[in-house]
Amino acid sequence: MVGPVVGPVVGMVGAGQLARMTFQASIALNVGFRVLAAQPQDSAAQVCPGASFGDYRDLDDLLAFAAGCDVVTFDHEHVPGPHLAALEQAGVVLRPGAEALRFAQDKLAMRERLVALGVPCPRYAPAAGLGDVTAFAADSGWPVVLKAVSGGYDGRGVWVCGTPERAAEVLAHGITVIVEEHVGFERELAALVARSPHNQGAAYPVVQTVQRDGVCREVLAPAPHLPAARAREAERLALQLAAELGVTGLLAVEFFETAAGLLVNELAMRPHNSGHWTMDGARTSQFEQHLRAVVDLPLGAPDAIAPRAVMANVFGSDDPDVYSRYTHVMAADPGVNLHLYGKTPRPGRKIGHVTVLPDTALGDDIDALRERAGHAARYLGEGKD
């Protein structure tokens, strides 16, 4: 940014689609924005001028990047905790800070803290070996869920294990895990809130997320037929957690909705897939909100501007030519909002998302909206109806 009227310069570690969309928001605010990318092909590095290149696992690279920024924030949770502490000791302003990020990086620390705060969670236990897993399962029954305390392997960190043999396979990778009960939930919900250093909070409407094979496919905003009291409970809990954990920026809280009530599944302290609908459907997008929060500006109004919105993720296939399918998708439904991330398509790789809002002509029936969003996303990603 060369702009003459910018305020603080925000640096984002990581240059995936979250950084790309945060950069889009930074243009309208005229807030300076830089990314630390691994390579020029990274989603945000393609569009953000003056991207820095380096390794987020290398403290020197992080320090060099931070030297050009007033505030440093994150596109992902993978910066090693000791590096975060070292950055803060060197005077770098991290938002969220190292203390808060620990609870997004370390699932055992997160569970312990949440339980200490009295927040309802699935039953869990540390699991040093198969014996701990089978002992836990003797109480909870099979299947159980193994979760990497941090990281994972093959790009995954969560495994539903129906047998001791399957659990042993996961443990054989030598990662540190916790074991959790397999919750028989009715559906999954997500609450997205922002908190600023001034301690201002703002909560987006609670959404339903629809996952398949452990991957988010769809988001319905607001969550259909959610009783107002339960929506308020989820929002309040997310705002409370943001304050208790000292989060600055966004906090996404993923819930299981069960017959007995809400259980917290996961936390993320950054813009989140469950909030992509806000780009087209809320008064302030989550990306602008994150920027406002991390530079400590007053937060934007988080309310929806349409009675509902449906977001569907676009997954790649073996056919790389997404662009040639634009014509079909745009001609078939001119009301779909398209967001592509500039990523080389591969089967199962998230390369974009689409959002559909209600339409006077086409109506606001939730099934019809899901059909429209799903069709556009499938056709764009895979060329399939």
Q: Are 302 and 204 in contact (CB under 8 A)?
A: yes
Q: How far is the CB of 298 from a second copy (least distance, A)?
A: 4
Q: Which is nearer to a second copy, 147 or 372 (CB)?
A: 372
Q: How far is the CB of 318 from a second copy (least distance, A)?
A: 14
The strand pairing partners of 12, in sequence order, are: 35, 73
Query: Computed over its alpha carbons, how large is the radius of gyration of the chain?
Result: 21
Q: How far is the CB of 240 from a second copy (least distance, A)?
A: 21
Q: How far is CA 343 from CA 43, 320, 323, in A?
A: 6, 10, 12
Tell me, what amino acid is at 7? G
Q: Are 55 and 351 in contact (CB under 8 A)?
A: no
Q: Which is nearer to a second copy, 26 or 208 (CB)?
A: 26
The strand pairing partners of 145, in sequence order, are: 160, 180
Q: How far is the CB of 324 from a second copy (least distance, A)?
A: 8
The strand pairing partners of 188, in sequence order, are: 209, 256
Pick left, alpha or beta for residue 143 (phi over 0 → left; psi -120 to 50 → alpha; otherwise beta). beta
Q: How far is the CB of 268 from a second copy (least distance, A)?
A: 22
Q: Which is nearer to a second copy, 57 or 283 (CB)?
A: 283
Q: Which is nearer to a second copy, 132 or 359 (CB)?
A: 359
Q: How far is the CB of 126 from a second copy (least distance, A)?
A: 42
d(CA 172, CA 183): 24
Q: Which is nearer to a second copy, 174 or 334 (CB)?
A: 334
Which DSSP symbol is given to 363? B
The contact set with a second copy (CB under 8 A) reads: 1-7, 20, 23-24, 27-30, 40-41, 45-50, 202, 283-284, 292, 297-301, 303, 305-306, 320-324, 326-327, 330-331, 334-335, 337-345, 351-352, 357, 359-360
Q: Which is nearer to a second copy, 263 or 304 (CB)?
A: 304
Give the distance, in angstroms, between the CA of residue 367 and the centroid of all CA atoms in the same chain.
Answer: 25
